[in-house]
Amino acid sequence: MANPLKVAAGIAIRGVSDAALAKAVQGKIILVTGASEGIGAATARRLGRAGATVLLAARTRDRLDEVAMEIRRTGGTAHVYAVDLSRPEQAERLGMDILREHRRVDVVVSNAGRSIRRSVADTADRFHDVVRTADLNYLGPVQLLLTLLPAMRTAGAGHIVNVSTAGVFTPAPNWSAYLASKTAFDVWLRCAVPELRRDGVTVSTFYSGLVRTRMSAPTAYLGRMPAMSAEEAAGAVCRAIARRPRTLQAWWTRPGEVIAHAFKGTVERLLSWQPARPPTGPVRLARLLLASRRYGWTLAAALASGRDREVALIDRFGTLTRGELRAAARDCAGGLVETFGIQERDRVGIRCGSHRGLVVAAAAAGLLGADAVLLPRGSAALRHASGGTGAADSMSSPDHHTDVPVVADDQTWSTLHGPAPERPRVPGRLTVLTSGTTRTPRGVRADVSWSSVIGPALAHLRHIPIRRGRPILVATPAYHGYGLTYLAAGLALGAPVILAPGNDLAGALALAVEHEPTAFFALPEQLAVLAALPGADRLPARTRIVTGAEPLTAELSARLLEVFGDRVFNLFGSTEAGWAAMATPADLRAAPGTVGRAPRGIRLAVLDQRGDRLPPGEVGAVHVGGWQPGGALVPTGDLGHFDRAGRLMLDGRA
C-alpha cells in the first residue's frame, strides 16, 4: 500500500488490499504489456500472487522469463509473449495468439510505453523519434485492442486499464513527442468508452505521476523530484483492476488541468521562462553589481565580493585566497602609480602568462580606473622601449604619439609596490586583442549591460554550472577572450579558478584529478592532446569539458565523445561579437563539429552579401546580435550555415 503521506502530498495514489484484489482477479486472465520491468513487472507479480493467470508481453524474453519464474514460485500462473508492440502487425498477432490459446482475455493492462525528452529544435532532424514513440504509445496499443475487443464485446464483459501520465493535462516543454502520443491513446479510449459501455466493456485510466523506474532514470532532474516506487504505482493499477474507476489521478491534477485550459496563454508564457539556479547568493550578486559600477567590467570588480579566506586562485605557484589577491592587486596598483604615474583612463599593457601575475596586474589597473590591455606573448602590437627604465616594455597607443607601459611577464608584475590607491572616479576598462586571423590584431572592449548579460549567462550556467566553492580549470590562455571569460566568472562567482599551463596537458589532467573541477575549459587542440594521454579516462566523471575559440572538427568531436562520453560542450563566439552559440553533447552526436544554437537573449544570423538572411543549408557570413546596444548584428568573421535542426555549422573564415 502507498505511504499515506505521499498520497496526501499527491505523489502517490492509494492502492488496494490483497484480499480485495484476490476477490476481483481470482481465475481471471489478465494481459499486462510492458511486463518485463518497472510498473508492468510489479503489477504482474502482484496479480500472480492474487490468483490471476497473467499473460506477460514485452520485447525482452529473458526478463519476461525472470518475472514469470517469480510468479510461478509464489504459486501463480504466467505465460510469456515476446513481442514488439511498436510494430502494429506484431500487436495484432499477439492478440490473435492470445485468443487462440486462451479463448478470452478478461483484463488488458496497457502499460508498455516509450518515454523521450527532446526539444522540438532537437527533433527537427529526428522525425523517426516521433514515429517510434507514437508507434509504441498509440498505434500499437490501438491495434492490440482492436484485435481483442470483439471477443470482449461478444462476451459482454471486459476491462481495460490504461497506464497514462498526469503530463497529458498540462503542456510540458521538451516532452512534445511523448505527451502527444500518450494523449492520442487517451483521447482514442475516451471516444471509445461510450461505445464499449453498451457491450459491458469498461475502461480505467491511471494518470500516473512520476515513478522511479529505468525509464525515468536517464533524465537527471527527475531523480531529484519526489516520486512513487514501481510497487506503489502497481498498487494503483491493481486498484483500477479491482474497483474499476473511470480515472485514477492525484488530487492536484484536476485543478491543474482546469488552470492549464482556462489560462492557456498565461501558462505557456510561464513555461517558456526557464529559470536556472542562481549562480550565487543575492548578497554577492548585489556586491558584484555595485563593484561593476565602481570599477567597470574588470577583474577588480570580479574580486570585490566574497570572503577574504576563501580560495580564489590556484596556479603553478600555489594557492591564493581572495584576500591575498586583493592585497596584491592594491600593492601592484600603488606600484603602477609610483613607477609609471598611471592615472584614470591611462592605458596599461599586460603581457603575462596564465598565472596570478595577470590577475593581479589586471585587477590593479581596474582599481585605478585605467584601461588594462591583455597581450599575448610576442604580440605584434608590442615594441621594446629604447632607453627606458628596464622595468617594462612599451606599447604604441592608438594615436601613435605616446608610449604606454607594458607590465612584462613573470618578474615585472611582482616588482611593483606602493601605497593603496584611492577609489577611482571613473570605472576601469578591460581590453582584449582580437585574434588577428583576418586582419591586424586590435583591441576590443565589450560595452554591455547587466540586462543583456543575464539571459545568456543563465542559459550557460544551466549546462555548465559555476558554483561558489567548486573549482573550475582553465587551460586556455587567460589573456585570450575565451580564457578570460571563465577566469572572471570564477572569480566573480566564488568558484576557485585553477589556471593550468596550456602546454602541459598531463599536468592539467593531474590538477583535474586532484581538485575535481566542475568544468575543464580548453582549446580543441589542447583537448586532442588530452584525449591521447594515457589515463585520460581518469578525468573526474562530473567534470564537464568545454571547448571553443577555435574550430572543432567533426573527427575530433567524435573522438572526444568516445573518450569522455556525453559531457563535451562546444562554444562559439568572437572577441568582437561575444559569445554566440553552444553545442551540447546531444548536438555534437547529432551533428559532429557543430557549434550549436544561440542562447536565450542572443540572435544568430547567416547573411548573404546584400545582408539578407539565408535559409538552412546555404553558406553565408555569420552575425551575432544581442550584446551590442540596440541589438545590432555584429559579424564574427566566419562563414557558416544552419542545418535542418537550426544548429550552426562553420565553413571557414570570411
Same domain, 300 and 226: no
Q: What is the per-residue pLDDT for 392?
A: 47
Task: Please state the length of the chain.
Answer: 654
Question: Torsion angle of alpha carbons 230, 232, 235, 236, nearest 10°?
Answer: -100
- Return the bridge partners of 163, or none: 206
Same domain, 366 and 245: no
Q: What is the per-residue pLDDT for 120?
A: 87
178 is catalytic: yes
Per the prediction, the chain carries an average pLDDT of: 86
Report CA-CA distances (Å) from 632 to 447, 625, 628, 642: 13, 5, 6, 20
Same domain, 37 and 139: yes
The CATH number linked to 298 is 3.40.50.980
Q: What is the per-residue pLDDT for 44?
A: 96
pLDDT tens, 45-90?
999 999 999 999 999 999 999 999 999 999 999 999 999 999 999 9
Q: What is the per-residue pLDDT for 459?
A: 64
Same domain, 220 and 345: no
Residue 316 maps to a domain: no
Q: Which range is least confidently modeled, 4-8, 220-224, 359-363?
A: 220-224
Same domain, 35 and 132: yes
Q: Which range is least confidently modeled, 2-16, 17-31, 334-348, 384-398?
A: 384-398
Residue 403 maps to a domain: yes
Pull the grid cell for residue 186.
487517451
Catalytic, out of 178, 207, 295, 479: 178
Q: What is the per-residue pLDDT for 339?
A: 86
Q: What is the per-residue pLDDT for 450?
A: 45
Q: Which of 444, 460, 490 is the last residue of a domain?
A: 444
Residue 14 maps to a domain: yes
pLDDT grade for 27, boundaries at 50, 70 and 90: very high
Same domain, 112 and 246: yes
Residue 85 maps to a domain: yes
Residue 370 maps to a domain: yes
Same domain, 362 and 299: yes
Cβ-based neighbour number of residue 121 at 10 Å: 13
Residue 217: which domain range? 4-252
Q: Which of 416, 444, 472 is the last residue of a domain?
A: 444
Same domain, 185 and 55: yes
Q: Is the pLDDT of residue 92 over 80?
A: yes
Alpha carbons 150 and 144: distance in angstroms, whole number: 11
Cβ-based neighbour number of residue 348 at 10 Å: 25
Considering only residues 281 and 40, tell me which one the structure prediction assigns the higher pLDDT.
Answer: 40
Q: Is the pLDDT of residue 443 over 60?
A: no
Residue 284 maps to a domain: no
Spell out the residues 6+ positions from residue 265 whose beta carbon is closer than 8 angstroms to its own. none
The CATH number linked to 15 is 3.40.50.720
Please compute the mean of the pLDDT values over residues 107-127 and round it to a whole number: 89
Same domain, 9 and 141: yes
Count of domains for the chain: 2
pLDDT grade for 436, boundaries at 50, 70 and 90: very low
Residue 551 maps to a domain: no
Please compute the mean of the pLDDT values over residues 541-555 and round it to a whole number: 92
Please compute the mean of the pLDDT values over residues 400-424 and round it to a whole number: 70
Q: What is the per-residue pLDDT for 448?
A: 46
Same domain, 220 and 296: no
Spell out the residues 6+ positions from residue 559 whose beta carbon is closer than 8 angstroms to its own. 528, 531
- The percent of residues above 70 in pLDDT, for the chain, comes to 87
Pull the grid cell for residue 81.
509473449
Residue 214 maps to a domain: yes
Cα 407-411-416 angle, rounded to 5 deg: 60
Q: Which of 205, 223, 252 is the last residue of a domain?
A: 252
Report CA-CA distances (Å) from 182 to 33, 163, 188, 194, 274: 15, 9, 10, 20, 24
Pull the grid cell for residue 248.
485514477
Same domain, 245 and 327: no
Report CA-CA distances (Å) from 645 to 124, 132, 294, 642: 5, 19, 43, 8
Same domain, 74 and 206: yes
pLDDT grade for 171, boundaries at 50, 70 and 90: confident
Please compute the mean of the pLDDT values over residues 535-563 and round it to a whole number: 92
